[in-house]
Amino acid sequence: MVTDTIRKIGEKVKLQGWVNTIRDHGKITFIDLRDRSGVVQCVGQNLPKTSVESVVEVAREVVKRPKKLVNKNLGTGKIEISIEEMKIITASKELPIPIEGEGYDIDENLRNKYRYLDLRRPRMTKNIRLRSKVTQYMRNWLTDRDFVEIETPILTKTTPEGARDFLVPSRLQPGKFYALPQSPQQYKQLLMVAGIERYFQLARCFRDEDPRRDRAYGEFTQLDIEMSFVTQDDILKLTEDLFTSLVKEVFPEKRIKTTPWPRISHNEAKEKYGSDKPDLRKDKNDKDELAFCWIVDFPLFIEQSKEDYFFGSGLSKWAPSHHMFTSPHPDDVKLLEDDPGKVRGLQHDLVLNGYEVGGGSIRIHDHKIQEKVFELIGFSKEQKKQFEHMLTAFAYGVPPHGGIAPGLDRFLMAALGESSVREVMAYPTSSSGQTAVMEAPSKASKEQLKELGLKLTINETPEK
């Protein structure tokens, strides 16, 4: 690494990396060489012609700079490499986008098309590295507390969960489809039935819903946590401890506004702030202030008109406020029969600087209450059958359980003060749903469609 050179004055070294800048002064040429660790100045005479962002190898002695020539803005500013030999490994053409600035003013579609160049931008490199540190910290923190990391299936079953599913046709069972998971919700609850008791996963989730700046189209990552024999307070306290210690370790320049985090009822949030995801910062432009809070006491159900799209029949006026597995508040269970609109749910939303960065709940573990919720939201017998695996499992001894799923992308966006979740993702989808670099989705060939037993009804010609 180039930063190792500051400890090797007088030694001969061989370095490989990208040409960050070139300053040609005739016989003498200065080249700033960059690798993952940083930048070092190299100087030599009669060097072969090269271009910025070419990959080169240089070799010779590490030299201490005179005191008056020390670059205090550079980590390696006290030394330079006196080049004896330079080899051009691969030459670079002129870049289609600049990478030295912040990049916000460049068309996002162009940035996505050349994402491998955009990721060379120092801001983007920093964001991706911070993302890695955050996930590693979460893993270690939870593992140290006896959580078990378990991967759940990506090819799963389509069930009505609120957003549109991405469907995947099955070759081995023609006419049937897998669905990509909107979340591991049912799998993690079944893990509680299995007696795992403490589960987590950095889960990829897939939802066919419209993009916005705090939500990427298609896929995202969440930290999925589920625990047995816990109260809502247990979940909130564990989450608060995790993120407080994470911020202290990974974002030492940030300060958390209030500890413990405020807990605000849904009604109070709407009445006092006009939003169920309030920004509690004193200075809304202060990127280094992190104002966490909890929103609790949500209504278990919301009213919907018959015209609204819902999970299926559209025959019920009630839809779940969170999801259909959220437990009603124990004091309100009796109201399920006579006044469902007044039932509070044991749902909790994690809010940071005006963004909902996570949500969870205590789950229903009584199959009779689960059946009642299905009835209230108007599930038909056919729709109930889609959850038969859950109801069957719940007949064999299910512990009280609950959890939370903080969104990794949205947390990073809020914590870093970025303008979009796409600024903290390596390969985001565009607003039109196109995957960066790969130009997906793409057409399937006639052979592929035939093998899957599919026929297009739109005016699109499949690839030959």
pLDDT in tens, 325-365: 999 999 999 999 999 999 999 999 999 999 999 999 999 99
Give pLDDT, residue 464. 60
pLDDT of residue 212: 81
pLDDT of residue 38: 93
Low-confidence ranges of the chain (pLDDT < 50): 309-313
Q: The domain spanning residue 230 has which CATH number? A: 3.30.930.10
Same domain, 13 and 141: no
By the 8 A CB rule, do 5 and 38 touch? no
Within a domain: 444: no
Residues 86 and 196 in one domain: no
How many domains, the chain?
2
The whole-angstrom separation of Cα 290 and Cα 280 is 9
* Distance of alpha carbon 262 from alpha carbon 246, whole angstroms: 19
Q: Tell whether 69 and 201 lie within a shared domain.
A: no
- Structure confidence at residue 383 (pLDDT): 83
Q: Position of tokens 């009603």? A: 328
On whether both 81 and 118 belong to a single domain, the answer is: no
Residues 282 and 231 in one domain: yes
Q: How far apart are CA 445 and CA 172, in angstroms?
A: 18
Around 180, how many Cα atoms within 13 Å sit in the side-chain half-sphere?
A: 15
pLDDT value, residue 379: 84
Q: What does the pLDDT read at residue 462?
A: 61
Answer yes or no: do 124 and 58 share one domain: no
Look at residue 261 and tell me if it is in a domain. Answer: yes
The three-point CA angle 183-184-187 to 5° equals: 150
pLDDT at residue 158, as a whole number = 86
Enclosing domain of residue 398: 108-424
Please write the tens of the pLDDT for every residue from 140-176: 999 999 999 999 999 999 887 667 899 999 999 999 9
State pLDDT tens for residues 12-30.
999 999 999 999 988 899 9
The rounded distance, in Å, linking the Cα atoms of 402 and 42 is: 57
Question: pTM of the prediction?
Answer: 0.92
CA distance 363 to 370: 10
Q: What's 25's domain CATH number?
A: 2.40.50.140
What pLDDT score does 308 carry? 55
Q: Are residues 262 and 357 in the same domain?
A: yes
CB neighbourhood size of 403 (10 A): 24
The amino acid occupying position 253 is: E
Q: How many Å apart are CA 157 and CA 186, to the nearest integer? A: 10
Is 456 inside any structural domain? no
Judgement on whether residues 115 and 249 belong to the same structural domain of the protein: yes
131 with 225, same domain: the answer is yes
Q: Per the structure block, which two tokens stand in for 30?
A: 């200065």
Q: Are residues 28 and 158 in the same domain?
A: no
Domain boundary among 60, 90, 120: 90
Q: How far apart are CA 56 and CA 53, in angstroms?
A: 9
